[in-house]
Chain A
Amino acid sequence: MALLELKKVKKIYQQGKIKVPALRGIDLAVEQGEFTTIFGPSGSGKTTLLNMIGCLDTPSEGEVKLNGDEVSKLSQTELAMVRRYNIGFIFQAYNLIPVLTAYENVEFAIRLIDHSSDAQKKEKVLKMLEEVGLKGLETRRPNELSGGEKQRVAIARALVKEPKIVLADEPTANLDSETGAEVIKIMVKMNQELGTTFIFSTHDPLIMKFAKRLLNLKDGMISSDERR
């Protein structure tokens, strides 16, 4: 059974009286541990597809299954619970909470799902920050971190709860190529060590270079699906 399954997924946005189709019938299955990249021109539906997979949005037609469970008909509260326990997000703009330290930003994600002792949670958070190369920077606030360091905090925040899937929307778009490469390497390492499934939406050729699977999206349809 695939970890993630999309069947004939369509998404149509209503803009005034005009219906704008963003996804025109996507069929997709993603297995555990895949390192997949969705690429395509602007407006091809990459972000919309990522939102469907991430249970942030629901399809107009078709179904989305996560771990065999249909999620496309769930309520907002139920979707929030699916996201809480199963999905990690990495955003282009990092979206860290500026009043919290690097440690607290990561701790925030684990506190939502982990009911173990504070000491155990602390150990997990510190370990994750070390894994992404932020040892010694735990007490810094986002405004005291570089772009690359912020994105590492975001990666640690996404991974600390050990989700089934991590979705990353243009994670290197705000980084220079050297820092972007470092960040990708961290994600590749996590994919290999933890077996976490990564799905990217990107234009970055560097990410495509590391991807094990490349999905080319064009006009809301998958035009090619290449496995490496």
Chain B
Amino acid sequence: MFAIKLGLRNLTRQKRRNIITAMVIAYAFFAYLLMDSLMNGMEEMSFENIKDLETGNIQIVHSDYWEEREELPLENLVYLDQDVEESLKNINGLSGISPELRFVANLNNGIDELPILGLGMDPDRYQEVFTTGEYLVDGSMFSLGENKAVIGEKTAQLMDLKINDYITLLVRTKEDTFNTIDVEIAGIVNTTHPMVNSGTVFVPLDIAQQALNVENRVSLIAIKVNPGYEESVTETLNQNFNRKDLKLKAYSWRESAETVIALSAAKKAGIGVILLVVLLIGIIGIINNVILSALERTEEIGMMKALGMKEMEIVSVFMVEATGIGIIGGLIGCLLGAIGVGWLVKYGFDLSYAGDMTNYGIPILNKLYGVWNFSAFSFLFILGIIIALLSSIVPAYWAAHKDPVKAIYHR
């Protein structure tokens, strides 16, 4: 008890140094919490963007299509017949179905040409799965049968296009012959997903099927599920397909977002490195503090030893002091972190300063918002205290191990 009392009282000595050490720890905590919040926010937004604007929760494709899907082939497509439709019915947790035909096209505005991803879809069913329609900044969505298209804002800027302009999509049919799709621009979208904004042209599914000569076939069927049903719906779908011998397979969005998930794993490793740096800062601060305190209090340590204090008792005084600094620094850091994270959650971080995030494989545009990760606060605070405690042991033992005669006479 006396060691605790003395250790805590010692916090009032060398106030400036103790405050600086605590503030260094606080700053390290603050920086870590902010990074953690942003990284988690980036992960959450990336995953949401992929699910809401790119893949849906689940994608159903022909078994042989999956491996080749990046090439956007017109082989091994899904034929939308009664068997397939029945396989998708009455599945608990399934909330939306959207067939899509994805194809390679060149967008021509009469002057320039741009390679893009053509996406044929049924707008009514598409909105059951995707939120793209909510990001219309000009015009409106088309209907099936209309020779109209929706493009991303960046594509529109790049190709100098606006609503009611006509564009031609140069495509190759299933038989590898050339064909064109002439459409009027019905709407322009500006989503949070860069791929949609700059490289995709949406056209009615029936128009695309006709131009590509694929009959009633689609590249994939995107599925939306209620939260928590992803695994069970995927399993049920695959069971249904197997039972009907349909050569179809359901894949979770995670399997088509491997790059982003790999980036997310790298992000976790990055956070680990930041955590190490934070801890190192804390350790160096505490060790420095204890060593300086011990040097200043050499005669006092000598007196304690003369009075018969054991080394461990002297060590515990320094440990209490170091832990106190860790607690103060941790509390200030968590408080500053809470303010910073709160700001990031509410106002976000403008990515325009950071350049085009797609260059780094991150499917986010405009603003990146932080997320609350309360476990990071408690984890860091507890870890900070433990580290402060542990990092003080060696210098405190060094101080307590001094020869009492040399310490008393400060030799």
Contacts and interface: CB of A to CB of B under 8 A. Distances in A.
Interface of A: 47, 51, 54, 56-57, 76-77, 80-85, 87, 89, 91, 93, 95, 97-100, 104, 108-109, 111-113, 157
Given A57-B405, A99-B9, A99-B13, A91 B303 contact: yes
Chain A interface, >50% SS class:
helix
Interface stretch (B29-37, B115-123, B196-204, B304-312): B304-312
Given A83-B305, A91-B408, A99-B6, 4 more contacts: A77-B310, A80-B310, A85-B308, A104-B5
A100 B304 CA distance: 14
A85 B310 CA distance: 13
A89 B310 contact: no
Contacts of A85: 308
A109 B307 contact: yes
Interface of B: 2, 5-6, 9-10, 12-13, 299-300, 302-303, 305-311, 404-405, 408-409
Contacts of B307: 83-84, 89, 108-109, 112, 157
A157 B5 CA distance: 18
Contacts of B405: 51, 56-57
Contacts of A108: 2, 6, 307
Nearest to B2: A111
Contacts of A77: 310-311
A76 B310 CA distance: 9
Nearest to A95: B303
Contacts of B309: 80, 84, 112
Given A91-B408, A99-B13, A112 B306 contact: no
Contacts of B302: 95
Given A84-B308, A97-B6, A56 B303 contact: no
Contacts of B299: 93, 95
Nearest to A93: B299
A15 to B, nearest CB: 12
A83 B310 CA distance: 11
Contacts of A100: 6, 9
